[in-house]
Chain A
Amino acid sequence: MNFTYRGRCWKFGNDIGVDGDLMPLEFAMQRETRLEVLAPHTMKGVDPAFAARAQPGDIMVAGRRFAQGNPHIQGLLGIAALKLGLVVESIPRGSLRNAVNAGVPLLPSCPGVTAQVETGEELEVDFATGRLRNLTRGTQLSFAPLDKELRDIIAIGGWRPALERRIAAMGRRT
């Protein structure tokens, strides 16, 4: 999998909530996991036009405690469906697991990053190394990448394909 994303920056603030901001709560209550259903509602509570305007390869950059709240996976599945990368100052434990399980490439710990980018700027992020280039400004930042084990789960497409691969490798299919 290509772990370098190049696209427009979509910047958001601190404390974006899982339910309401990132995805309407009703989809979590219905345990909806179909990507095509969730995609158009991604970030609806913050910017109703976002899902229609974001392009595959674009990068969401958010502040502290991105996807805070009851860790429902639906919002992260929406981001995966739109094929976006994710760069955040911080993300709570439950939502980090959900991002990995949804197969969203992310940099989970980028303190101060929101001061270095603006919506509409051209970014290039290498999720394997943690290098973020702001092509509009000609600047470069470096953050800790996600662990290799977790990048491998993302690379294969998230929780279900990763578990299928592991079950096959262990000979657990009987």
Chain B
Amino acid sequence: MAQTVTEKILSRAMGRPVRTGEIIYPEPDLVTVHDWYVVNFDKALQELGVTRLYAPDKLLISTDHEPVAVSVLAAERQRQVRQIAAKYGLKHFYDTGRGGHGHVFPMELGYIKPGMFVLAYDVHANNYGALGCLAIPLVVEITDVLACGSVWLKVPETVRINLQGALRPGLTLRDVADRMIADVGADVADYTVMEFGGPALASVGIDGRVTLCNRPIEIGVKSTVFETDAVTLAYLEAHARPPFEVLRSDSGATFKATFDYDLGILEPQVAAPPTPDNVVPVSSVAGKKVDHAFIGSCANCSITDLRDAARILKGRKVSAGVRFVVTPGTQQIQARAAAEGLLAIFTDAGAMLTAPGCGPCAGGRTFPLAKGEVSINTGTRNDYGRLGTREAEIYLASPFTVAASAVAGRIVDPRELL
């Protein structure tokens, strides 16, 4: 029977063909948890009387939400996380200064391959879909997986996106991803996996695929996944150990909906408060004064994103009164940005660099907003209160638009500076 990529992955995990809508308990190939939940799951397991993990060798811990402890409380939590990692005998514990963003570095380090099934604590783990891996986010139920090896899932329907056309100058896949989630909408997307393929696939690199995988979670998808192609295989050759499976949906597979989506959108896009799918053309919010700008987060923390920002910032200064923060996603990305001279460009422009990881996007624990301030950034969410006070506004946009707005001191169309 013809299957989607998701049905293939879940069928392999179950060892039998699965059907859409069925409740299954598939065991994941990898489980990821970040630094802000390790103490919590350990406490839950203690209360439940579970002293050994079901599969400790499958658990990867990242330190990305608060890699730099800025309080004694945070330092204490880091100490406890190290103890917990030792207690359970974890082989894949990435402490502060190691790895970086947990939704990114496992791809660099070869953990993620097409056809894998991952369960994750934290909503944006579906980034791994960029490499053809099905990663499904959980919250409290990650405890079930750690104790018993699995948790119930309903086999989801798939919404198929056929990418077509080509990006226009000054636009990025962030603009496309934001426009797309607004166009597709929550009613269609809810409880589905969004699968990407189509004739323009070859023009979309892995960094851009990460951004495209990252954004649809905001409209309620269960996950996102790309078909495997030559771009995937080239990345895997450089980062992972073979063999590599090539996974595509069968012709005749059943999709809930299919969209032909053109990359050639005309104007940079901005997600205005209060939700990430409240997406408007940049011209409709241009001129808005900004106080705070940030490049980073699991949506846009790649070397491609840093190059885009640097292209705008080279030889320019961040506007007086604007604080501008750059958070490379991983240790490797930071090293590469240094080697390419990008970090020097940021420094000369008056930007600040933070440790690899989530950066301010993790709830504004670092670089929060004050009352009445406006931020433009490449983060994941723009709810009121996401970056500190509720009495502040957050606009989400591409690295081009964020960097250009930081230079101008107001929201601008970046094509004016390219």
Contact of B147 among A73, A159, A163 (CB under 8 A): A163
B139: interface (CB < 8 Å) = yes
Chain A residues numbered 105-120 whose CB sits less than 8 Å from any CB in chain B:
none
Q: Given the known A-B contacts A163-B147, A170-B148, are A150 and B23 also in contact in the complex, defined by CB atoms under 8 Å?
A: yes
Say which one of A1-9, A38-46, A51-59, A90-98 lies at the interface with B. A90-98
Residue A65 at the B interface, CB < 8 A?
A: yes
- In the docked arrangement, what's the CA distance between A150 and B153, Å? 10
- Verify A93–B49 contact, CB threshold 8 A: no
Is the CB–CB distance between B190 and A172 below 8 Å? no
Interface string of A51-91 (1 = CB under 8 A from B): 00000000000001100101101000000000000000010
By beta carbon, the residue of chain A nearest B47 is A160
B140 touches A159 (CB 8 A): yes
Residues of B within 8 A of A94 (CB): 220
Contact, CB under 8 Å: B222 / A172: no
B186 touches A163 (CB 8 A): no
User: In the complex, A121→B144 CA distance in Å?
Assistant: 40
A71 to B191, CA, bound (A): 13
Q: Mark A153-174, 1 if CB is under 8 A from B, else 0.
A: 1000001000110110010111
B270-309 to A contact mask, C-beta < 8 Å, 1/0: 0000000000000000000000000000000000000000
Interface presence of B41 (CB below 8 A): no
Q: Tell me whether B48 is interfacial, beta carbon within 8 Å.
A: yes
Contacts of B32 in A (CB 8 A): none
Contacts of B186 in A (CB 8 A): 65, 68, 92
Chain B contact residues, CB within 8 Å of chain A:
23, 48-52, 54, 139-141, 143-144, 147-148, 152, 154, 186-187, 190-191, 220, 222, 383
**Residues of chain A whose beta carbon lies under 8 Å from any beta carbon of chain B:** 64-65, 68, 70-71, 73, 90, 92-94, 96-97, 101, 147, 149-150, 153, 159, 163-164, 166-167, 170, 172-174
Starting from the known contacts A68-B186, A166-B148, 10 additional A-B residue pairs (CB-CB under 8 Å) come to A70-B383, A92-B220, A93-B220, A149-B152, A159-B140, A163-B143, A167-B147, A172-B147, A174-B50, A174-B51
